Amino acid sequence: MDDEQLKLNNQICFPIYSVSRLITKAYKPFLEKMGLTYPQYLVLLVLWENDNISMSKIGEKLLLNTNTLSPLVKRMEKMELLQRKRSDKDERSVFIQLTPKGKELKNTAVPIPEKLLNTLMTEDVTLTEIMLLKDTLNKWSDILSEKQNDEQ
Amino acid sequence: MDDEQLKLNNQICFPIYSVSRLITKAYKPFLEKMGLTYPQYLVLLVLWENDNISMSKIGEKLLLNTNTLSPLVKRMEKMELLQRKRSDKDERSVFIQLTPKGKELKNTAVPIPEKLLNTLMTEDVTLTEIMLLKDTLNKWSDILSEKQNDEQ
DNA sequence: CAAAATTAAATCGTGCACGATACAAATTTA
DNA sequence: TAAATTTGTATCGTGCACGATTTAATTTTG
């Protein structure tokens, strides 16, 4: 049987899956100081760039459904990083606003990307290579998410 | 404040994180037919290549700890895909063997990698690009997992 | 050999992911 | 405008991930 393609080393998804987890782990020491998980950090990235937006808009940017985002954001509200407010215009929508505490956390976060890059870079994985990877994956992400949206 | 690096589009990890989830989603229709989740499929990939190996060896290959793997494998035992057996030589070790049902599933799985590749490829993401990505990520995965092992 | 250290699994608790479903508010349609 | 549909969010159940701790078996060390 021609099963060469079933070998772990020939899989495409497996390295993406494992590198994703390895990078999340690399974030941990930095995020721990702020009491954040990686998905929570992502929500803050969105809000720091664009405060007072709806749940659906956040989900759209992070490719997360409400069944993931809803409890995640509620935990962040409990941590007093943000506030949930139902829109007056459209009572279905919930808008998310950063609290002062949530805004302030940005200062702590500013040095993270560079620190992380230093952690991730090695002799064998150069900055150029990482940037190339990032661009390819960004392109792919756009295409795949659109594709999966179309399917339903 | 120079916060350009905090923008979502400039993040390195985010596209890896989202593409990983998007690809797992792309696997779903194929794996669903076999009643498998993606991590369960990974365990089978390992076993099809190397039957009757220990829990720790599987975890090493998939970069998964026992606290993830242990319940995962138990679920697969319940599905009668494999059997767990304590080693006689070393009573601490548990070795995993495929059942006939688990072995047979390989036949169903053989066409998956090609089908998936067709799903993942588009005009804008060529096979060459995907293969390049795979190699870079494989290299990175090796380096990062070793690095994180050293740290503790 | 006995005590200390190491190793292999398992368990516990928390937080994602996500399919499925529910539900109320808004919009479209007949 | 009333009925049907769509939209935005929330909830439920299941299955990962993973840090921390536990337990038992083996190996190392004094």
DSSP secondary structure code for residue A21 in this structure: H
User: How far apart are alpha carbons B116 and A1 in whole angstroms?
Assistant: 19
Query: Which of the four pLDDT bands, split at 50, 70 and 90, describes residue B129?
Result: confident
Find out whether A21 and B17 touch, Cβ atoms under 8 Å.
Answer: no
The model's pLDDT over A116-143, given as tens digits with 9 standing for 90+, comes to: 998 888 888 888 888 889 989 999 998 8
The model's pLDDT over B106-121, given as tens digits with 9 standing for 90+, comes to: 999 999 999 999 888 8
B15 in a structural domain:
no
Q: Do A10 and B113 touch (CB under 8 A)?
A: yes
The mean per-residue pLDDT over the stretch A109-119 comes to 92
A50 in a structural domain:
yes
A59 in a structural domain:
yes
* Domain around A54: 35-106
Sequence letter at residue A113: P
Q: What is the pLDDT of residue A54?
A: 98
B136 in a structural domain:
no
Q: Do B63 and A21 touch (CB under 8 A)?
A: yes
B 48-107, residues with C-beta < 7 Å of strand C:
54-56, 59, 66-67, 69-71, 73-74, 84, 90, 92-95
A89 in a structural domain:
yes
User: How far apart are alpha carbons A113 and B10 in whole angstroms?
Assistant: 9
Q: What is the pLDDT of residue A127?
A: 86
Is a pLDDT exceeding 60 seen at residue A1? no
The model's pLDDT over A77-101, given as tens digits with 9 standing for 90+, comes to: 999 999 999 999 999 999 999 999 9
Is a pLDDT exceeding 70 seen at residue B152? no
Strand arrangement of the beta sheet that strand A82-86 belongs to: A53-54, A94-98, A82-86
Asked if residue A139 keeps its beta carbon closer than 7 A to nucleic acid strand D, the reply is no
Find out whether A53 and A96 touch, Cβ atoms under 8 Å.
Answer: yes
The model's pLDDT over A23-76, given as tens digits with 9 standing for 90+, comes to: 999 999 999 999 999 999 999 999 999 999 999 999 999 999 999 999 999 999
Is a pLDDT exceeding 70 seen at residue A2? no
For the question of an ipTM over 0.90, the answer is yes
Q: What is the pLDDT of residue B2?
A: 59
Find out whether A96 and A47 touch, Cβ atoms under 8 Å.
Answer: yes
* CB count in 10 Å sphere of residue A45: 23
A4 in a structural domain:
no
Q: Are strands B53-54 and A94-98 parallel, antiparallel or unpaired?
A: unpaired
Q: What is the pLDDT of residue B3?
A: 77
The alpha-helical segments, DSSP class H, found in chain A are: 13-32, 38-49, 55-62, 66-78, 100-109, 112-120, 127-151
Q: Do B9 and A143 touch (CB under 8 A)?
A: no
Query: Which of the four pLDDT bands, split at 50, 70 and 90, describes residue B127?
Result: confident
The model's pLDDT over B3-13, given as tens digits with 9 standing for 90+, comes to: 788 899 889 89
What CATH number corresponds to the domain at position B100?
Answer: 1.10.10.10
User: How far apart are alpha carbons B61 and B64 in whole angstroms?
Assistant: 8
B46 in a structural domain:
yes
From the list A23, A45, A124, the residue facing B16 with the nearest CB is A23
When divided into structural domains, chain B yields a total of 1
Is a pLDDT exceeding 60 seen at residue B1? no
A24 in a structural domain:
no
